[in-house]
Amino acid sequence: LRLSSLDPVRMPEWRWAPFLSHAINALIPLKPEPYPVAPEFLQREGKTGSKSQPIKVTTCTWACRTKKFRQVRAACVEAGSSASVLNFVINPYHTFDLPFFGADLVTLPSGHLLALDLQPAITSDERHTKQVWERLMPIFEQWRVRLPEGGPIPEEAKPYFSPGFLWTRLHLGSEGNQLIDEVIMPAFRDYLNLYLDLVEMAEEVSPQRAFKLLEGQKRYLSYRGKKDPARAMLARFHGHQWTESYIHNVLFDL
């Protein structure tokens, strides 16, 4: 039983544990404090599969806040051969001109879906994107050449991505696992290092600017909540009511 959002996520067999551990360790110098998460969302058990071969599902939430982060949260799903997911988002306070850090690491029976990005809160605004993208692009170029293209993403989603959106689909098995170790893990570290460096340098903006950033953050999170690709899966595992409340009151809660 998890009592606080800072308690370690304990899920044996969970594919993405090394990624969350890395991120938590990288956050320690920022003195993370617990982020309030209601107990029914800290840890939830469910079942999938068939009557004769049920599969146990666990969904856990790890979350914190820091001086510059309104909310850092990880949605962690472990459902054996059915699914293993880490969806990790860093939400900065809107008083800093910072993008979101977003990672979606998804293993399904059909393969791995892997997404990594520093996503803008406001688009078509050089002050918000220029220094981020200048430093992100070389990192993106370094890793994307080693990965197959993930394929098209919806047109309406494009404003919410950066040009450094790393997005791939990999097969299950040893080849995919090797790419996860040799490309996805170091790319995750690089994206997070860059992000934490941008955060360290960030200074508070004017109230006018902060208002604009807040509007942009709300638009982004409302889009993510409305279009959450995990909605159907979570509803199957844990029911519609719990899922809607989890999406709107925990995952995308601004």
Give the binding site for ligand DBV (CB under 6 A).
75, 77, 85, 87, 102-104, 106, 113, 115, 117, 153, 228-230, 233, 251
Q: In the 3-class helix/strand/coil scheme, how is the chain assigned residue by residue?
A: CCCCCCCCCCCCCCCCHHHHHHHHHHHHHHCCEECCCCHHHHEEEEEEECCCCEEEEEEEEEEEECCCEEEEEEEEEEECCCEEEEEEEEEECCCECCCEEEEEEEEECCEEEEEEEEECCCCCCHHHHHHHHHHHHHHHHHHHCCCCCCCCCCHHHHHHCCCCCEEEEECCCHHHHHHHHHHHHHHHHHHHHHHHHHHHHCCECCHHHHHHHHHHHHHHHHHHHHCCCCHHHHHHHHCHHHHHHHHHHHHCCC
Residue 204: CB minimum distance to ligand DBV, A: 26
* Nearest residue (CB) to ligand DBV, 126 versus 156: 156
Residues 183, 147 contacting (CB under 8 angstroms):
yes
Residue 199: CB minimum distance to ligand DBV, A: 17
Residues 93, 69 contacting (CB under 8 angstroms):
yes
Residue 219: CB minimum distance to ligand DBV, A: 15
* Nearest residue (CB) to ligand DBV, 123 versus 210: 123
**Which two three-digit tokens encode residue 213?**
């950033």
* Nearest residue (CB) to ligand DBV, 92 versus 102: 102
Residue 153: CB minimum distance to ligand DBV, A: 5
Residue 122: CB minimum distance to ligand DBV, A: 17
* Nearest residue (CB) to ligand DBV, 150 versus 210: 150
* Nearest residue (CB) to ligand DBV, 55 versus 210: 55
Residue nearest to ligand DBV (CB): 102
* Nearest residue (CB) to ligand DBV, 64 versus 113: 113
* Nearest residue (CB) to ligand DBV, 2 versus 209: 2
Residue 26: CB minimum distance to ligand DBV, A: 17
Residue 41: CB minimum distance to ligand DBV, A: 11
Please tell me the distance from the alpha carbon of residue 209 to that of residue 195, in angstroms, as a whole number: 20
